[in-house]
Structure 1
Amino acid sequence: MRFKHYILFPFFVLLFFISCKNKKEDHVIRFHDHRVDSLLSDTTHISFIVDSLKHSVLNAQNDTMQISFLNELTQNWRGLPNKIFATEAIHYCTLINYSTGLCDAQARLAIYHLRSGEFEKADSLLNISIKSSATLNNKTLLAQALFFKGECFRVSNKADSTLSCYIKALDIAEKKNLKKRQAICLNAIADYYRNSKSDTSLLLLKRAVRISEAEKDYNTLSYAQGLIARIYTSREMYDSSNMILKKSIEGAIKCGNNYFASHQLLQLGDNLRLNSYFPEALNAYFHALKLIESSAIKSEVPLLLSGIAEVYRFTPDYDKAIEYNLKAIDEARSLKQVRVESFALANLGEIYKHKNEIEKALRYYFAALEVAQANGFVDREAFCLSVIGAAYRVKGDEKNTKEFILKAIRLNDELKDNNHVSFCYMILGKLYKQKNNPVEAQKYLEKALDHAKQSGIIQNICDISYELYQLYEGNNNPAKALKMHLLYVSTKDSIVNEGQIKNVAEAEYKLKEDNLITVQGEKERIFRIEKELKEEELKRQKIIRYAFTTGFILVLILAFVIYRNLVDNRKKNKIISLQKAEVEKQKHLIEERQKEVMDSITYAKRLQDAILPSRAQLSANLPEAFLLYLPKDIVAGDFYWTHEIKNSGTESGNARLILVAAADCTGHGVPGAMVSVVCSNALNRAVIEFGITNPGKILDKTCELVVETFEKSGEDVKDGMDISLALINTETREIKWSGANNPLWYLSHNEIHEITADKQPIGKSDYSRPFTTHTIQLKKGDSVYLFTDGFADQFGGPIGKKFKYKPLKELLLAIASLTPEEQKQKLEFAFNEWKGNLEQVDDVSMVGVRV
């Protein structure tokens, strides 16, 4: 019986191919509007989604499926096809009395009218769709129609009605578990709150991202990521914004939404341009223009051309900047984008100002101001006022400069625009500098620098720091002049240099080369497809003509082998895919866990650094001191400590009592760091809270507090620390010292002396006794050293042995004549040279003080 199946299989396969051929030749779909046939049969690539939906419409198995695909195609193919397909779907549904499809098509046609600015038509169709979907009790269509109604209200600037429709649509989507519609509604509500409640907006968008990722709805996911990026940009978090934008662009391109990808590329280009990454910005703009070529929507073109012009203005390449600005103005006027027109006109003024053609610059500035005021663009009006004032300043017209700049400052303060407030103050500073009024010039330039730093715009910081540098130098203030000059040089280098200009040229060349390669590749692809189609057609005809005459046995064997291999390959591919997915999943989990651990440890380091006294505090207490602090890991078990005891009146008026310590807690890394927090806190309490100044008593109280802390857990915890603690009288040079396991070394008469510590730790021990306080009288130039055992215990050298204490003493004696900072450098160099490529075995801490 099985053998008979194998014999009949190729016969049925052959009949299927022949019937498919005849069916394809005989079946021609005819629509009411001939343009539908024309658009569907056109093989021009639009996008992955549109191409797939065109194929689905043509190959639908029944009328209702064909209408469903036609409705989806209506929304995804923007422009005139949107209207053509929606109208055809309405005609088709009316013809076959398909109410559900008609309700859907009416909502889709409303979107076309909404995008075309025909709000009354859109509103009328949506009201019909909402009523019909309610009558049909179709919650999916009702949620869709309510959402589109919200979009209609949004474009009409009816905020309350907008939010109400969005929330109603979301409520229905949640009750019916319509995940994709939930994500779309969340995006819309988040966009509504984006400027007024950005934190709420972020929470909604992150929820939309989770849903879209789970549903693999890359279009909605990309849109959500784009909104998150815009919030980050508004907060001047450019790195985070750019990272999210790149994900959004990748998702938009992946789902064939070239229009949205170009929109996101425009925002990415603007971010990069504002932070002086000019070659990268140029790549983003040109990439967006390339994507727009395959889209019917050209609304982003003027902004892209204007952005490219801005890059060329700052590189600088004024001829290209003028060329692209003029293109931007023409495109903006043809699309009636008056805001972009104002922007491009002002940019032309900026270019001519840099070319020192002030009258021509003012002509373009006033043209831009006129457009901004006529259309209520307050931010553009403020910008135009500021650049007009700047131009009058170049002309030496003090009256007009002050008039326009003060108007600009007032508007920019209302807008809270630190960038342009900074620019205005800089212009006033330059004006007073030009009028030989250095006091007023310094006041306004310093204000300008403060606002520039708040805005984070590098170009303004560069310009203002240069002006202040010149002003301070002229006022014989070398320290401030040097500081401003260093700031100017560092910012200037980051804005433009020969390398960036070369990179821009390389970016242009690469773009042209990529375009040529793309065109050539497309030609080759078309040629291959045509060749393959011809070969396939010849092969198919040959099979039909000679199938039975070439031998039934050959066909049987071939079909059997193909079938068996196909089954085997599918099984193998399925196993491989499952294994690969599991490996990727485990890899991703491991990477996430590792990142979480490293982030936690890094944050722990920040906390530990905050607990430790700053090096500035150590330097302030003991100017003639050095600190060698080399943690083994990111966080350490070693810590250093210092505290100044206020003069109680018993000492000389000039005497300062400074406590300083080097401590080694049990363990290193994270466990050691946790113990160090407990011990450091106990040390602070003993001195600050209990007012103890005697080193031995301090250690007694610290030991008591540490034991008390660890006993709270109920566990037998014997962790603690070894410490060397000294009280230094800076006037009398008397040292009081006490130690737990760690000794004190002091250098006097060109010889290192050692005071042995009590052989017990700070913490729970079997033989606890009070700590001993030793008193030493030193003379000027003598030194004391407090340290942990990390330096002496480090393995290294030619044969990998410990450094030990005797060589350490010899090293300290050899470098004793150097300054404390030089001693630190010598010690660190000696440690690293001894350690070589071996692992550091313990934390290293050493404090050296010259009295």
Structure 2
Amino acid sequence: MKNILLTFLLLGSALQINAQSYAGNNFLDSLEKEMSKYSPKDTNYVKLLAVIGEQTPILTLQFWDSCAIIAQNGMQEASNSKKEKEVFEIIYGSCRGNCAYLVGAQGKTMEALNYHNENIQIQKRYGNKKALSNAYNNVGYVYSNQKNDSVALFYYEKALLLREEIKDTVGLAGSYNNIGAIYYNNKENKKALKYFHMGAKMFESLNNKVGLATTWGNIGMIHNLLGDKELAMDYNLKSLEINEKLGHKAGIADKLVDLGGFDFKANRLKQARAKGERALAIAQEMGYVKKIGRAASLLYKVSKKEKKWEEALTMRNLQTTMQDSLSSKQLVKSLAKQQAKFEYEKQKALDDAEHLKLLVLEEEKQKKQSVVIISAAIVLGLVVLFLLFVFNRLRVIKRQKGIIENSNLILEEKNKEITDSIIYAKRIQNAILPTEKLLKKHLKESFVLYKPKDIVAGDFYWLETNENKVLFAAADCTGHGVPGAMVSVVCNNGLNRSVREHGLTDPGKILDKTREIVVKEFGKSEEDVKDGMDIALCSIESMKLQYAGAHNPLWIIRNGEVLETKANKQPIGQFDYSEPYTTHSFDLEQGDSVYLFSDGYIDQFGGEKGKKFKTKAFKELLLSIQDKSMEVQNQIIDDTFETWKGALEQIDDVCVIGVRV
């Protein structure tokens, strides 16, 4: 099925230019003819380059990187108008989206997601909903390749909503097929069939015969899995009929192999062989490497069953050869060679024109020889004076450069020493944090999203057990970086002592004792230290939960509603009007989700207007993902934060804990 299902990976560049699909020498000839009309500084040049990339079956990362560089140069070209720079930036984003597809195919998932995020930010900035829906679709494709179907489905559905909004019928047809493929992967064949039928209906309304033929083939394979052999054959025959009418040889070869597979399973070896041999001939004629391999695989099985061992071996070797084929590299080399030839001839024409111009100038110079000699002498004298001045300045600059370089070396050494010390401090700080193994042992269905702003952090998460109680907390100490990390060590120690030495398990009393320890520690200083900690602290025993907090609240999500319990408005530290912390008790219900967090997530600036994320948006995000596992929730919350932040700097440490009971 993997070779049959059509995955509509829309690399869409939002280009407003029509182009035909090229192949072989025709493609190269058309490239030379079209691109010779424009300069790389012209938007039409990069549009055409991007369309060539879209229409060419052999895509390389180097090609799209080069396209991105040309677009980036156009963005920075001073003579271009604002509108032209916007066009260059939109195409730049699309090039990054295509880079994401290619590095994702190499298994570099994080690099692919970074490219996609860059494209998403650009398309959002210009309100380009069509390109944005394509980007969401492609992020879903990345997760689908990682077999993370739940997150893939989340992004496919985001793409679907946008396409419904802008009435992108072509995109909708692709979304239906992608969602159908997810359900197929999860063996939900009836749901898959439903979405494939929706896609087929859309393609039929668009009169998109190629898409319709492919989708009918998908439907046929689903019916085959459901045991309805006659209906499966019918859909595959309908698909073949359309491909035959269109002369779509790629589709003809695919359907012949699929139908030959049906014949093979029914022991109709003569019919299976005929279809396989025809498919192989078409594939070899067109140079379809993958389809040659599929046809060879079918003929190998037929020959093996007919006990034609020599032919079976030949087909097996052909199948293996196709897997290792270098044809794609040869085509890329051919394209590069043709483009290099074009650049050479273009430059040669410019050089010839320049040479003619020089001849005319030389003739004029001969007529005015005496004037030229005098002028040259004057100019030469001025040049000598100027060179003397420049030489003197260069000596001064060289001396200054040596001083600066020496200073830079000293600064670099000091900076490295400081950075190494901070990295070592991070190892120490990590040592006081609970391990993932410990978290999963006591809080089986949970996650921790921990994103320090700097190498070390003022935020930390904490876990202790006492008898049958599990105590856990999300804490935010004053500041971030090195100062925040130092405060966090003192506060973490206070929590540990409150439980281990004093045997406390009531959250309010733990916070009272921790405050006492922290104030006492900072009180040893001769200076007035007012640093401290905000915290949300919980204990769970069976289905009983207790909570106490300093500024940081507790959220329990139950039946689609956020139940918020506010904290005491006083920090863990020196405070003029301190009072005992309040312990709140709750009876939990099966399926409740508990969330503790610092303020770094909701205070992050980002989005189109550079505003804070805010509490309301965070609640809506958590409510929207309650049907997901805690592991998927963690990924979605992290992706949302990075997308919102975009190119802006992270302003604070982030710590979010989620627990489901």
TM-score by length of 2: 0.45
Compare relative contact order (CA 8 Å, sep 6+) and give the higher one, 1 or 2. Answer: 2
Q: Which structure carries more helix by proportion?
A: 1
TM-score by length of 1: 0.36
